Structure 1
Amino acid sequence: MSILAWLLLGLIAGFIASKLVNRSGSGLLLDIVLGIVGAFVGGWLFNQFGNSGVSGFNLYSLLVATVGAIVVLAIYHLIFSRRAL
């Protein structure tokens, strides 16, 4: 996939994940970064369970990236929300 496709997939996955996890976006840049990292994490997780990871710009890859972004976002909130307390 091209860099632009990774950015777009990361933006969409990060946006969906941030809406599911904390009901508000975390900001455009953070959504993109967490979505791209989530795509890698989701691909790794899906490979561990015997499925394929991100395979291109399609709905399955969006699902994989979103699941990974939810995991990354949950860990992110666990780490940084405790510092605020």
Structure 2
Amino acid sequence: MHLSNQGLLVILVVGVVAGWLAGRVMAGGGFGLIGDLLVGLVGAFIGDWLMPQLGIHLGVGIVALIINAFIGAVVLLLILRLIGGGFGGRRRWI
């Protein structure tokens, strides 16, 4: 598989946007540029697998890619917070 520079740029932009949006929606402050990128990229893989399993097809284009990656990133953050008990911050016991 050959990945052009333009394709790589699209993947990076989609990953950053999806990770940033997921960090905002999940009541987190985000994880910085690299953390948001990683969450968005892994979320894109999760969304790409999960959405067809649910019978949901968003179409084609950059907006559909971002929405797909965003949904996957939110699912990833939910799983990570369930396993790890949350990110950063202090736990409140009261």
TM-score tier, shorter chain, comes to 0.7 to 0.9
In structure 2, the residue matched to 1:61 is 65
- Where in structure 1 are there 5+ consecutive unaligned residues? none
In structure 1, the residue matched to 2:55 is 50
Aligned equivalents of 2:13, 2:70: Cα separation in 1: 12
Please give the root-mean-square deviation of Cα atoms over the aligned residues, in Å. Answer: 2.5
Relative to the length of structure 1, the TM-score reads 0.81
- Tell me whether 10-19 or 72-81 shows the greater mean CA deviation: 72-81
Query: Once the 2 structures are TM-superposed, how far is the Cα of residue 61 of structure 1 from its aligned partner?
Result: 1.3
Number of equivalent positions:
84
- Where in structure 2 are there 5+ consecutive unaligned residues? none
State the identity as a percent. 35
1:28 aligns with 2:16: no
Query: Once the 2 structures are TM-superposed, how far is the Cα of residue 51 of structure 1 from its aligned partner?
Result: 3.2
| Poorly superposed stretches of 4+, deviation over 6 Å | 82-85
Q: Highest CA radius of gyration, 1 or 2?
A: 2
Native 8 Å contact 2:15 2:44 kept in 1? yes
